Protein backbone atom coordinates (compact mmCIF):
# COMPACT_ATOMS: atom_id res chain seq x y z
CA UNK A 1 0.00 0.00 0.00
CA UNK A 2 0.90 3.61 -0.45
CA UNK A 3 1.16 4.95 3.04
CA UNK A 4 -0.03 8.37 3.94
CA UNK A 5 2.22 11.37 3.52
CA UNK A 6 -0.12 13.49 5.63
CA UNK A 7 1.16 11.82 8.79
CA UNK A 8 4.62 12.67 10.07
CA UNK A 9 7.23 9.99 9.55
CA UNK A 10 8.31 8.50 12.86
CA UNK A 11 9.94 5.78 14.88
CA UNK A 12 7.56 3.65 16.90
CA UNK A 13 9.66 2.32 19.76
CA UNK A 14 8.27 -0.51 21.85
CA UNK A 15 9.76 -1.20 25.29
CA UNK A 16 8.63 -4.70 26.23
CA UNK A 17 8.47 -5.80 22.59
CA UNK A 18 8.64 -9.49 23.53
CA UNK A 19 5.84 -9.27 26.11
CA UNK A 20 2.25 -10.40 26.18
CA UNK A 21 0.61 -7.04 25.41
CA UNK A 22 2.90 -6.34 22.47
CA UNK A 23 2.18 -9.76 20.97
CA UNK A 24 -1.54 -9.84 21.57
CA UNK A 25 -2.37 -6.23 20.77
CA UNK A 26 0.39 -4.03 19.35
CA UNK A 27 1.68 -5.99 16.32
CA UNK A 28 -1.82 -7.01 15.18
CA UNK A 29 -2.94 -3.36 15.50
CA UNK A 30 0.05 -2.05 13.55
CA UNK A 31 -0.50 -4.70 10.88
CA UNK A 32 -4.15 -3.73 10.45
CA UNK A 33 -3.20 -0.06 10.26
CA UNK A 34 -0.74 -0.95 7.50
CA UNK A 35 -3.42 -2.87 5.57
CA UNK A 36 -5.70 0.15 5.81
CA UNK A 37 -3.00 2.60 4.71
CA UNK A 38 -3.22 4.48 8.00
CA UNK A 39 0.49 4.55 8.83
CA UNK A 40 2.91 7.31 7.84
CA UNK A 41 4.99 6.83 4.74
CA UNK A 42 8.17 6.30 6.72
CA UNK A 43 7.44 4.36 9.84
CA UNK A 44 10.02 2.21 11.57
CA UNK A 45 8.95 -0.05 14.42
CA UNK A 46 11.78 -0.69 16.86
CA UNK A 47 11.31 -3.41 19.46
CA UNK A 48 13.48 -3.95 22.51
CA UNK A 49 13.43 -6.85 24.92
CA UNK A 50 15.73 -9.37 26.51
CA UNK A 51 14.54 -12.79 25.54
CA UNK A 52 15.08 -12.59 21.77
CA UNK A 53 18.52 -12.12 20.31
CA UNK A 54 18.10 -11.19 16.69
CA UNK A 55 15.93 -9.23 14.30
CA UNK A 56 15.05 -12.51 12.52
CA UNK A 57 13.75 -14.02 15.75
CA UNK A 58 11.77 -10.83 16.38
CA UNK A 59 10.22 -10.91 12.90
CA UNK A 60 9.21 -14.55 13.46
CA UNK A 61 7.61 -13.65 16.76
CA UNK A 62 5.71 -10.76 15.19
CA UNK A 63 4.52 -13.05 12.36
CA UNK A 64 3.19 -15.52 14.90
CA UNK A 65 1.49 -12.80 16.83
CA UNK A 66 -0.22 -11.46 13.71
CA UNK A 67 -1.21 -14.99 12.66
CA UNK A 68 -2.74 -15.68 16.08
CA UNK A 69 -4.33 -12.37 17.01
CA UNK A 70 -4.88 -10.14 14.01
CA UNK A 71 -8.47 -9.68 12.83
CA UNK A 72 -7.18 -9.73 9.23
CA UNK A 73 -4.31 -11.68 7.72
CA UNK A 74 -3.84 -10.55 4.08
CA UNK A 75 -0.34 -12.01 3.64
CA UNK A 76 0.53 -9.68 0.76
CA UNK A 77 1.42 -6.97 3.30
CA UNK A 78 3.84 -9.21 5.15
CA UNK A 79 7.02 -8.16 3.36
CA UNK A 80 6.25 -4.49 3.68
CA UNK A 81 5.58 -5.03 7.40
CA UNK A 82 8.83 -6.96 7.83
CA UNK A 83 10.79 -4.08 6.34
CA UNK A 84 9.41 -1.81 9.05
CA UNK A 85 10.55 -4.06 11.89
CA UNK A 86 13.82 -3.53 13.78
CA UNK A 87 15.00 -5.04 17.02
CA UNK A 88 17.65 -4.56 19.66
CA UNK A 89 18.22 -6.93 22.52
CA UNK A 90 18.78 -4.78 25.59
CA UNK A 91 18.33 -4.80 29.30
CA UNK A 92 16.97 -1.38 30.06
CA UNK A 93 17.81 -1.58 33.75
CA UNK A 94 21.41 -1.31 32.63
CA UNK A 95 22.55 2.17 31.59
CA UNK A 96 25.04 0.85 29.04
CA UNK A 97 22.24 -1.06 27.39
CA UNK A 98 20.18 2.08 27.24
CA UNK A 99 23.02 4.09 25.70
CA UNK A 100 23.33 1.35 23.09
CA UNK A 101 19.61 1.67 22.41
CA UNK A 102 19.95 5.43 22.01
CA UNK A 103 22.54 5.02 19.28
CA UNK A 104 20.56 2.18 17.63
CA UNK A 105 17.52 4.45 17.41
CA UNK A 106 19.64 7.21 15.90
CA UNK A 107 20.89 4.77 13.24
CA UNK A 108 17.43 3.51 12.34
CA UNK A 109 16.16 7.07 12.30
CA UNK A 110 18.86 7.97 9.82
CA UNK A 111 18.43 4.94 7.56
CA UNK A 112 14.61 5.06 7.55
CA UNK A 113 14.39 8.85 7.34
CA UNK A 114 11.96 9.21 10.18
CA UNK A 115 13.02 12.81 10.87
CA UNK A 116 13.44 12.72 14.62
CA UNK A 117 9.80 12.05 15.47
CA UNK A 118 9.28 9.24 17.93
CA UNK A 119 6.57 7.42 19.85
CA UNK A 120 7.89 5.59 22.90
CA UNK A 121 5.43 2.87 23.88
CA UNK A 122 5.94 1.50 27.41
CA UNK A 123 4.58 -2.06 27.28
CA UNK A 124 6.44 -3.03 30.42
CA UNK A 125 5.64 -3.62 34.08
CA UNK A 126 4.49 -0.41 35.80
CA UNK A 127 7.53 -0.30 38.10
CA UNK A 128 9.62 0.21 34.94
CA UNK A 129 7.73 3.34 33.78
CA UNK A 130 9.72 5.68 36.01
CA UNK A 131 13.22 4.17 35.42
CA UNK A 132 12.72 4.11 31.62
CA UNK A 133 11.63 7.75 31.63
CA UNK A 134 14.71 8.60 33.68
CA UNK A 135 16.93 6.83 31.13
CA UNK A 136 15.21 8.61 28.24
CA UNK A 137 16.13 11.85 29.97
CA UNK A 138 19.68 10.85 30.83
CA UNK A 139 20.33 9.76 27.24
CA UNK A 140 18.76 12.94 25.78
CA UNK A 141 16.23 10.93 23.86
CA UNK A 142 13.49 13.54 24.21
CA UNK A 143 14.15 16.85 22.51
CA UNK A 144 10.75 18.40 21.72
CA UNK A 145 12.27 20.87 19.27
CA UNK A 146 9.76 22.93 17.25
CA UNK A 147 10.02 20.76 14.13
CA UNK A 148 10.16 17.29 15.69
CA UNK A 149 8.15 15.59 18.36
CA UNK A 150 8.57 12.73 20.83
CA UNK A 151 5.53 11.21 22.49
CA UNK A 152 5.03 8.76 25.31
CA UNK A 153 2.37 6.04 25.27
CA UNK A 154 2.06 4.60 28.73
CA UNK A 155 0.10 1.54 29.75
CA UNK A 156 -2.10 1.15 32.76
CA UNK A 157 -1.89 1.12 35.72
CA UNK A 158 -0.92 4.75 36.17
CA UNK A 159 0.15 4.47 39.82
CA UNK A 160 -1.53 2.39 42.52
CA UNK A 161 -2.93 5.34 44.47
CA UNK A 162 -2.96 9.11 44.22
CA UNK A 163 0.49 9.57 45.76
CA UNK A 164 2.28 7.10 43.50
CA UNK A 165 0.40 8.43 40.45
CA UNK A 166 1.53 11.96 41.35
CA UNK A 167 5.13 10.82 41.70
CA UNK A 168 5.03 9.05 38.33
CA UNK A 169 3.37 12.02 36.71
CA UNK A 170 5.97 14.41 38.09
CA UNK A 171 8.66 12.24 36.57
CA UNK A 172 7.16 11.93 33.10
CA UNK A 173 5.86 15.48 32.89
CA UNK A 174 9.34 16.82 33.66
CA UNK A 175 10.28 15.32 30.30
CA UNK A 176 7.11 15.38 28.19
CA UNK A 177 4.49 18.16 28.01
CA UNK A 178 0.93 17.01 28.72
CA UNK A 179 -0.01 16.99 25.01
CA UNK A 180 2.80 14.48 24.35
CA UNK A 181 1.65 12.05 27.06
CA UNK A 182 -0.78 9.37 25.93
CA UNK A 183 -2.05 7.59 29.06
CA UNK A 184 -3.81 4.51 27.77
CA UNK A 185 -7.24 3.45 28.93
CA UNK A 186 -7.93 1.06 26.12
CA UNK A 187 -11.68 1.16 26.81
CA UNK A 188 -11.67 4.65 25.32
CA UNK A 189 -10.48 3.10 22.06
CA UNK A 190 -13.52 0.82 21.93
CA UNK A 191 -15.90 1.60 19.09
CA UNK A 192 -19.08 1.75 21.15
CA UNK A 193 -17.68 4.10 23.77
CA UNK A 194 -16.84 6.57 21.04
CA UNK A 195 -20.27 5.86 19.64
CA UNK A 196 -21.89 6.56 23.01
CA UNK A 197 -20.90 10.19 22.65
CA UNK A 198 -22.17 10.31 19.06
CA UNK A 199 -25.46 8.66 20.00
CA UNK A 200 -26.00 11.15 22.80
CA UNK A 201 -25.14 14.31 20.96
CA UNK A 202 -26.30 13.48 17.45
CA UNK A 203 -29.87 12.50 18.34
CA UNK A 204 -32.64 14.83 19.37
CA UNK A 205 -34.42 11.68 20.51
CA UNK A 206 -31.99 11.02 23.36
CA UNK A 207 -30.24 14.20 24.45
CA UNK A 208 -33.34 16.03 25.75
CA UNK A 209 -34.14 13.02 27.97
CA UNK A 210 -30.59 12.59 29.25
CA UNK A 211 -31.06 13.95 32.77
CA UNK A 212 -32.61 13.40 36.18
CA UNK A 213 -36.10 14.35 35.03
CA UNK A 214 -36.40 11.32 32.76
CA UNK A 215 -33.70 8.90 33.83
CA UNK A 216 -34.30 6.71 36.86
CA UNK A 217 -30.84 5.19 37.12
CA UNK A 218 -27.76 4.28 35.09
CA UNK A 219 -26.00 0.93 35.24
CA UNK A 220 -22.45 0.47 34.03
CA UNK A 221 -21.19 -3.12 34.00
CA UNK A 222 -18.03 -4.77 32.82
CA UNK A 223 -18.30 -8.44 33.62
CA UNK A 224 -15.79 -11.13 32.77
CA UNK A 225 -16.33 -14.87 32.59
CA UNK A 226 -12.62 -15.58 32.76
CA UNK A 227 -10.58 -15.88 35.91
CA UNK A 228 -7.27 -14.33 36.80
CA UNK A 229 -5.32 -15.77 33.86
CA UNK A 230 -1.61 -15.03 33.75
CA UNK A 231 -1.65 -11.68 35.52
CA UNK A 232 -1.61 -13.07 39.08
CA UNK A 233 1.37 -11.13 40.37
CA UNK A 234 -0.08 -7.78 39.36
CA UNK A 235 -3.67 -8.64 40.19
CA UNK A 236 -2.91 -9.80 43.72
CA UNK A 237 -1.65 -6.31 44.54
CA UNK A 238 -4.28 -4.47 42.52
CA UNK A 239 -7.73 -6.10 42.71
CA UNK A 240 -10.84 -5.20 40.73
CA UNK A 241 -11.22 -1.71 42.20
CA UNK A 242 -7.82 -0.54 40.97
CA UNK A 243 -7.69 -2.74 37.88
CA UNK A 244 -11.12 -1.90 36.45
CA UNK A 245 -13.08 0.74 38.38
CA UNK A 246 -10.32 3.35 38.73
CA UNK A 247 -9.94 3.58 34.98
CA UNK A 248 -12.43 1.84 32.68
CA UNK A 249 -15.64 2.14 34.69
CA UNK A 250 -15.04 5.73 35.77
CA UNK A 251 -14.22 6.68 32.18
CA UNK A 252 -17.45 5.03 31.01
CA UNK A 253 -19.26 7.00 33.69
CA UNK A 254 -17.62 10.25 32.54
CA UNK A 255 -18.62 9.67 28.90
CA UNK A 256 -22.19 8.79 29.88
CA UNK A 257 -22.72 11.73 32.21
CA UNK A 258 -20.70 14.58 30.68
CA UNK A 259 -22.20 17.81 29.34
CA UNK A 260 -22.00 18.51 25.60
CA UNK A 261 -18.48 19.82 24.92
CA UNK A 262 -18.06 23.18 23.16
CA UNK A 263 -16.40 21.38 20.26
CA UNK A 264 -14.94 17.97 19.52
CA UNK A 265 -11.36 18.83 20.42
CA UNK A 266 -9.42 16.74 22.92
CA UNK A 267 -9.30 19.65 25.31
CA UNK A 268 -13.03 20.36 25.21
CA UNK A 269 -14.10 16.73 25.63
CA UNK A 270 -11.68 16.11 28.45
CA UNK A 271 -12.77 19.33 30.16
CA UNK A 272 -16.31 17.96 30.33
CA UNK A 273 -15.23 14.49 31.44
CA UNK A 274 -13.16 15.82 34.30
CA UNK A 275 -16.12 17.82 35.58
CA UNK A 276 -18.11 14.61 35.99
CA UNK A 277 -15.27 12.99 37.92
CA UNK A 278 -15.04 16.09 40.06
CA UNK A 279 -18.76 15.96 40.77
CA UNK A 280 -18.82 12.38 42.10
CA UNK A 281 -20.25 12.81 45.57
CA UNK A 282 -17.59 11.96 48.16
CA UNK A 283 -18.70 9.29 50.62
CA UNK A 284 -18.10 9.06 54.36
CA UNK A 285 -16.68 5.76 55.64
CA UNK A 286 -20.17 4.80 56.74
CA UNK A 287 -21.55 5.57 53.26
CA UNK A 288 -18.78 3.54 51.66
CA UNK A 289 -19.77 0.54 53.79
CA UNK A 290 -23.35 0.98 52.66
CA UNK A 291 -22.72 1.72 48.97
CA UNK A 292 -19.73 -0.34 47.92
CA UNK A 293 -19.68 -4.14 47.79
CA UNK A 294 -16.53 -6.20 47.29
CA UNK A 295 -16.31 -9.87 46.46
CA UNK A 296 -13.99 -12.74 45.67
CA UNK A 297 -14.93 -15.89 43.77
CA UNK A 298 -15.06 -19.38 45.15
CA UNK A 299 -14.90 -22.51 43.01
CA UNK A 300 -17.90 -23.03 40.76
CA UNK A 301 -19.16 -23.88 37.31
CA UNK A 302 -18.00 -21.61 34.54
CA UNK A 303 -18.76 -22.31 30.89
CA UNK A 304 -19.87 -25.82 31.79
CA UNK A 305 -16.70 -26.81 33.64
CA UNK A 306 -15.64 -26.76 37.27
CA UNK A 307 -13.15 -23.99 37.97
CA UNK A 308 -11.04 -23.22 41.02
CA UNK A 309 -11.74 -20.44 43.47
CA UNK A 310 -9.49 -17.37 43.43
CA UNK A 311 -7.52 -18.46 46.49
CA UNK A 312 -6.72 -21.77 44.78
CA UNK A 313 -5.38 -20.16 41.62
CA UNK A 314 -1.65 -20.63 41.10
CA UNK A 315 0.35 -17.83 42.70
CA UNK A 316 -2.50 -16.54 44.88
CA UNK A 317 -2.07 -16.57 48.65
CA UNK A 318 -4.52 -18.98 50.35
CA UNK A 319 -5.66 -16.15 52.60
CA UNK A 320 -5.74 -13.46 49.90
CA UNK A 321 -8.16 -10.61 50.52
CA UNK A 322 -7.84 -9.26 46.96
CA UNK A 323 -11.27 -8.44 45.56
CA UNK A 324 -12.24 -9.91 42.20
CA UNK A 325 -15.61 -8.14 42.21
CA UNK A 326 -16.84 -4.63 42.99
CA UNK A 327 -20.32 -3.15 42.83
CA UNK A 328 -21.22 0.35 43.95
CA UNK A 329 -23.85 3.02 44.01
CA UNK A 330 -22.63 6.56 43.48
CA UNK A 331 -24.07 9.97 42.72
CA UNK A 332 -22.90 12.68 40.36
CA UNK A 333 -23.76 15.83 42.18
CA UNK A 334 -24.58 18.39 39.52
CA UNK A 335 -27.67 19.97 37.99
CA UNK A 336 -28.15 17.27 35.36
CA UNK A 337 -27.80 14.22 37.60
CA UNK A 338 -28.77 15.17 41.16
CA UNK A 339 -30.60 12.26 42.76
CA UNK A 340 -29.95 9.70 39.97
CA UNK A 341 -28.04 6.67 41.22
CA UNK A 342 -25.24 5.31 39.06
CA UNK A 343 -24.65 1.63 39.73
CA UNK A 344 -21.24 0.29 38.71
CA UNK A 345 -20.36 -3.38 38.63
CA UNK A 346 -17.33 -5.38 37.53
CA UNK A 347 -15.89 -8.77 38.32
CA UNK A 348 -14.12 -11.88 37.22
CA UNK A 349 -15.61 -15.36 36.86
CA UNK A 350 -19.10 -13.98 36.49
CA UNK A 351 -21.89 -15.62 34.52
CA UNK A 352 -21.02 -13.95 31.24
CA UNK A 353 -18.52 -11.64 29.55
CA UNK A 354 -20.08 -8.33 28.73
CA UNK A 355 -19.58 -4.58 28.95
CA UNK A 356 -22.53 -2.26 28.70
CA UNK A 357 -24.15 0.95 29.82
CA UNK A 358 -27.85 0.69 30.65
CA UNK A 359 -29.96 3.82 30.90
CA UNK A 360 -33.20 3.05 32.75
CA UNK A 361 -35.91 5.65 32.18
CA UNK A 362 -38.49 6.61 34.76
CA UNK A 363 -41.71 4.69 35.00
CA UNK A 364 -44.99 6.05 33.75
CA UNK A 365 -47.56 7.26 36.28
CA UNK A 366 -49.69 4.55 37.86
CA UNK A 367 -52.75 5.03 35.65
CA UNK A 368 -54.01 3.39 32.42
CA UNK A 369 -51.92 0.25 31.84
CA UNK A 370 -50.08 0.71 35.07
CA UNK A 371 -53.26 0.52 37.07
CA UNK A 372 -53.83 -3.07 35.95
CA UNK A 373 -50.22 -4.07 35.30
CA UNK A 374 -48.07 -2.68 38.07
CA UNK A 375 -45.09 -4.71 36.88
CA UNK A 376 -44.65 -3.07 33.49
CA UNK A 377 -41.00 -3.11 32.46
CA UNK A 378 -39.12 0.20 32.32
CA UNK A 379 -37.82 1.72 29.09
CA UNK A 380 -34.18 0.88 28.68
CA UNK A 381 -31.51 2.15 26.38
CA UNK A 382 -28.59 -0.28 26.34
CA UNK A 383 -25.23 0.62 24.84
CA UNK A 384 -23.43 -2.67 24.28
CA UNK A 385 -19.68 -2.27 24.28
CA UNK A 386 -18.49 -5.88 24.10
CA UNK A 387 -18.54 -8.63 22.96
CA UNK A 388 -21.56 -7.50 20.95
CA UNK A 389 -21.33 -3.88 19.81
CA UNK A 390 -24.65 -2.20 19.43
CA UNK A 391 -27.62 -0.42 20.92
CA UNK A 392 -30.91 -1.83 22.16
CA UNK A 393 -34.01 0.14 23.03
CA UNK A 394 -36.64 -1.57 25.14
CA UNK A 395 -40.15 -0.21 25.21
CA UNK A 396 -43.66 -1.45 25.95
CA UNK A 397 -46.20 -2.48 23.36
CA UNK A 398 -49.54 -4.22 23.25
CA UNK A 399 -49.45 -8.00 23.16
CA UNK A 400 -50.21 -9.28 19.71
CA UNK A 401 -53.72 -10.54 18.94
CA UNK A 402 -56.91 -10.42 20.91
CA UNK A 403 -55.40 -10.88 24.36
CA UNK A 404 -55.08 -7.92 26.61
CA UNK A 405 -51.75 -6.98 28.05
CA UNK A 406 -48.56 -5.05 27.58
CA UNK A 407 -45.18 -6.63 26.88
CA UNK A 408 -41.66 -5.24 26.60
CA UNK A 409 -40.26 -5.31 23.05
CA UNK A 410 -36.81 -4.44 21.79
CA UNK A 411 -35.36 -2.60 18.84
CA UNK A 412 -31.78 -3.60 18.30
CA UNK A 413 -28.92 -2.27 16.25
CA UNK A 414 -25.93 -4.56 16.11
CA UNK A 415 -22.79 -3.08 14.70
CA UNK A 416 -20.60 -6.17 14.65
CA UNK A 417 -23.00 -9.10 14.33
CA UNK A 418 -22.86 -9.56 10.60
CA UNK A 419 -19.21 -8.62 10.15
CA UNK A 420 -17.45 -9.41 13.42
CA UNK A 421 -13.99 -8.58 12.03
CA UNK A 422 -14.90 -5.22 10.60
CA UNK A 423 -14.82 -3.54 13.93
CA UNK A 424 -11.32 -2.25 14.66
CA UNK A 425 -9.55 -3.21 17.85
CA UNK A 426 -9.08 -0.44 20.42
CA UNK A 427 -5.30 -0.43 19.98
CA UNK A 428 -5.61 0.31 16.27
CA UNK A 429 -7.40 3.52 17.02
CA UNK A 430 -5.13 4.40 19.94
CA UNK A 431 -1.87 3.87 18.04
CA UNK A 432 -3.18 5.77 15.00
CA UNK A 433 -4.24 8.66 17.24
CA UNK A 434 -0.90 8.84 19.04
CA UNK A 435 0.91 8.97 15.69
CA UNK A 436 -1.47 11.76 14.64
CA UNK A 437 -0.96 13.52 17.97
CA UNK A 438 -4.63 13.37 18.99
CA UNK A 439 -5.02 12.92 22.75
CA UNK A 440 -8.85 12.80 22.83
CA UNK A 441 -9.05 9.09 23.67
CA UNK A 442 -6.36 9.20 26.34
CA UNK A 443 -6.68 10.14 29.98
CA UNK A 444 -5.54 13.61 30.97
CA UNK A 445 -3.67 13.99 34.23
CA UNK A 446 -6.45 15.80 36.09
CA UNK A 447 -8.84 12.95 35.23
CA UNK A 448 -6.39 10.42 36.68
CA UNK A 449 -6.08 12.55 39.78
CA UNK A 450 -9.83 12.65 40.43
CA UNK A 451 -10.17 8.95 39.69
CA UNK A 452 -7.53 8.04 42.27
CA UNK A 453 -8.91 10.41 44.87
CA UNK A 454 -12.25 8.61 44.71
CA UNK A 455 -10.69 5.12 44.69
CA UNK A 456 -8.33 5.94 47.57
CA UNK A 457 -11.27 6.94 49.76
CA UNK A 458 -12.70 3.43 49.31
CA UNK A 459 -9.40 1.61 49.78
CA UNK A 460 -8.86 3.48 53.04
CA UNK A 461 -12.12 2.16 54.46
CA UNK A 462 -11.54 -1.36 53.17
CA UNK A 463 -8.16 -1.53 54.85
CA UNK A 464 -9.84 -1.18 58.22
CA UNK A 465 -11.59 -4.54 58.10
CA UNK A 466 -10.93 -7.97 56.63
CA UNK A 467 -13.62 -9.08 54.21
CA UNK A 468 -15.17 -12.50 54.58
CA UNK A 469 -14.03 -14.01 51.31
CA UNK A 470 -14.84 -15.91 49.18
CA UNK A 471 -18.41 -14.69 48.90
CA UNK A 472 -19.61 -15.65 45.43
CA UNK A 473 -19.41 -18.76 43.32
CA UNK A 474 -17.65 -18.74 39.96
CA UNK A 475 -20.21 -18.55 37.15
CA UNK A 476 -22.74 -16.47 39.12
CA UNK A 477 -23.47 -12.72 39.00
CA UNK A 478 -21.44 -11.98 42.13
CA UNK A 479 -22.19 -11.66 45.84
CA UNK A 480 -25.77 -11.39 47.11
CA UNK A 481 -24.97 -7.97 48.57
CA UNK A 482 -24.57 -6.59 45.05
CA UNK A 483 -28.16 -7.53 44.22
CA UNK A 484 -29.26 -6.27 47.60
CA UNK A 485 -27.73 -2.87 46.83
CA UNK A 486 -30.31 -2.36 44.09
CA UNK A 487 -33.13 -4.22 45.80
CA UNK A 488 -32.94 -1.72 48.66
CA UNK A 489 -33.80 0.93 46.07
CA UNK A 490 -36.58 -1.17 44.50
CA UNK A 491 -34.42 -1.83 41.45
CA UNK A 492 -32.49 -4.66 39.84
CA UNK A 493 -29.47 -5.18 37.61
CA UNK A 494 -30.38 -5.46 33.96
CA UNK A 495 -28.66 -8.17 32.03
CA UNK A 496 -28.96 -8.24 28.25
CA UNK A 497 -29.69 -11.57 26.66
N1 LIG B 1 -1.09 -8.10 28.93
C2 LIG B 1 -2.23 -7.44 28.97
O3 LIG B 1 -3.27 -7.91 28.54
C4 LIG B 1 -2.28 -6.05 29.52
C5 LIG B 1 -3.52 -5.39 29.59
C6 LIG B 1 -3.57 -4.09 30.06
C7 LIG B 1 -2.41 -3.47 30.45
N8 LIG B 1 -1.22 -4.14 30.38
C9 LIG B 1 -0.01 -3.43 30.79
O10 LIG B 1 0.96 -3.52 29.78
C11 LIG B 1 2.25 -3.58 30.34
C12 LIG B 1 2.98 -4.80 29.82
O13 LIG B 1 2.29 -5.97 30.22
P14 LIG B 1 2.60 -7.41 29.63
O15 LIG B 1 1.49 -8.29 30.07
O16 LIG B 1 2.92 -7.36 28.19
O17 LIG B 1 3.93 -7.81 30.44
P18 LIG B 1 4.98 -8.96 30.12
O19 LIG B 1 4.41 -10.00 29.24
O20 LIG B 1 5.57 -9.38 31.42
O21 LIG B 1 6.10 -8.21 29.27
C22 LIG B 1 7.07 -7.39 29.85
C23 LIG B 1 8.07 -6.98 28.80
O24 LIG B 1 9.06 -6.17 29.41
C25 LIG B 1 10.33 -6.65 29.03
N26 LIG B 1 11.30 -6.39 30.09
C27 LIG B 1 11.14 -6.53 31.42
N28 LIG B 1 12.26 -6.16 32.08
C29 LIG B 1 13.14 -5.78 31.13
C30 LIG B 1 14.46 -5.29 31.17
N31 LIG B 1 15.11 -5.11 32.32
N32 LIG B 1 15.06 -4.98 30.02
C33 LIG B 1 14.42 -5.14 28.84
N34 LIG B 1 13.18 -5.61 28.73
C35 LIG B 1 12.54 -5.93 29.86
C36 LIG B 1 10.14 -8.11 28.81
O37 LIG B 1 11.16 -8.57 27.98
P38 LIG B 1 11.80 -10.06 28.11
O39 LIG B 1 10.71 -10.97 28.53
O40 LIG B 1 12.30 -10.29 26.73
O41 LIG B 1 12.86 -9.97 29.13
C42 LIG B 1 8.79 -8.12 28.12
O43 LIG B 1 8.94 -7.81 26.75
C44 LIG B 1 2.06 -3.56 31.85
O45 LIG B 1 2.14 -2.24 32.29
C46 LIG B 1 0.64 -4.04 32.02
O47 LIG B 1 0.05 -3.53 33.20
C48 LIG B 1 -1.14 -5.41 29.92
> Could you give phi then psi for residue 410, rounded to 5 degrees?
-130, 140
Q: Give the mean pLDDT of 427-433.
A: 96
C-beta of residue 18 within 8 angstroms of C-beta of residue 50: yes
Lowest-pLDDT range, 98-102, 168-172, 414-418, 488-492?
414-418
Q: Where are the alpha helices (DSSP H) in 85-220?
A: 95-112, 129-138, 162-173, 191-201
Centre of ligand 1 from the C-alpha of residue 352, in Å: 28
Centre of ligand 1 from the C-alpha of residue 303, in Å: 29
Does residue 21 or residue 366 have the better pLDDT?
21
pLDDT of residue 59: 98
C-beta of residue 92 within 8 angstroms of C-beta of residue 131: yes
Segment holding 10, helix H or strand E: strand 10-15
Percentage of residues of the chain with pLDDT beyond 90: 87
**pTM of the prediction?**
0.95
pLDDT of residue 2: 64
C-beta of residue 330 within 8 angstroms of C-beta of residue 450: no
* 3-class secondary structure, 243: helix
Q: Give the mean pLDDT of 373-382.
A: 86
Q: Where are the alpha helices (DSSP H) in 316-465?
A: 369-372, 426-436, 445-462
Would you say the CB of residue 123 lies under 6 angstroms from ligand 1?
Answer: yes
Segment holding 289, helix H or strand E: helix 285-291
Cβ neighbour number for residue 215 with a 10 Å cutoff: 18
> Which ligand 1 atom is at minimum distance from the Cα of 93?
31
Centre of ligand 1 from the C-alpha of residue 238, in Å: 16
Q: Give the mean pLDDT of 303-327.
A: 96
pLDDT of residue 316: 96
Does residue 484 or residue 264 have the better pLDDT?
484
Residue closest via CA to ligand 1's atom 44 equals 125
Centre of ligand 1 from the C-alpha of residue 443, in Å: 21
Give first-to-last CA distance, the chain, whole Å: 42
Segment holding 29, helix H or strand E: helix 27-35
pLDDT of 3 over the 70 cut: no
pLDDT of residue 144: 76
Contacts of 347 (CB under 8 A, 6+ apart): 223, 224, 240, 295, 297, 324, 325, 326, 327, 472, 478
Identify the sign of the CA torsion 483, 293, 361, 339: positive
pLDDT of 220 over the 70 cut: yes
pLDDT of residue 496: 79
Lowest-pLDDT range, 8-12, 44-48, 365-369, 492-496?
365-369
Q: Give the mean pLDDT of 149-156.
A: 96
> Which ligand 1 atom is at minimum distance from the Cα of 50?
40
DSSP state of 264: S
Active-site entry in 86, 248, 450, 494:
248
Instruction: Count Cβ atoms within 10 A of the Cβ of residue 362 and give its class: 0-12 exposed, 13-18 middle, 19 or more buried.
Output: middle
Which of 24, 91, 94, 125 best tests ligand 1's pocket when mutated (most atoms within 8 Å of CB)?
125
- Confidence band, pLDDT 50/70/90 cuts, at residue 94: confident
Residue closest via CA to ligand 1's atom 23 equals 16
pLDDT of 289 over the 70 cut: yes
The beta strand positions in 192-347, using DSSP E, are 215-223, 292-295, 297-298, 300-302, 305-307, 325-331, 341-347
pLDDT of residue 80: 96
Helix axes 250-257, 445-462, angle to 10 degrees: 120
User: Known catalytic residue: 82?
Assistant: no
Residue closest via CA to ligand 1's atom 33 equals 91
Beta strand 390-398 pairing with 292-295: unpaired
Return mean pLDDT, the chain. 94
Would you say the CB of residue 19 lies under 6 angstroms from ligand 1?
Answer: yes
pLDDT of residue 370: 67
Does residue 7 or residue 229 have the better pLDDT?
7
pLDDT of 208 over the 90 cut: yes
Q: Give the mean pLDDT of 248-258.
A: 98
Would you say the CB of residue 156 lies under 6 angstroms from ligand 1?
Answer: yes
pLDDT of 164 over the 90 cut: yes
pLDDT of residue 374: 66
Would you say the CB of residue 247 lies under 6 angstroms from ligand 1?
Answer: no
Amino acid sequence: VKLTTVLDSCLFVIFGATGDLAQRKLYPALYNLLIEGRLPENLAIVGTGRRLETREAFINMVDESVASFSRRSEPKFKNQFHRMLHYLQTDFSDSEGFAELASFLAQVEESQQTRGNRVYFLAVAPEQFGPITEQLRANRMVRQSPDTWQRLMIEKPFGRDLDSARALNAQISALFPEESIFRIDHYLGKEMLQNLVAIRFANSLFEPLWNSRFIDNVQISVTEAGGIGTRVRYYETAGALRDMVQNHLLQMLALTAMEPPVDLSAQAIRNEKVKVLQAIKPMTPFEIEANVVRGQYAAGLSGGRVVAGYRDEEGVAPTSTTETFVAMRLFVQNFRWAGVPFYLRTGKRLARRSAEVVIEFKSMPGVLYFASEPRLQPNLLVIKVQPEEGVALQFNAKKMGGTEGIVPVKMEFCQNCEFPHHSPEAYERLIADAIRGDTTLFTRWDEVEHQWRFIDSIVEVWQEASPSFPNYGAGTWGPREADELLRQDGRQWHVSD
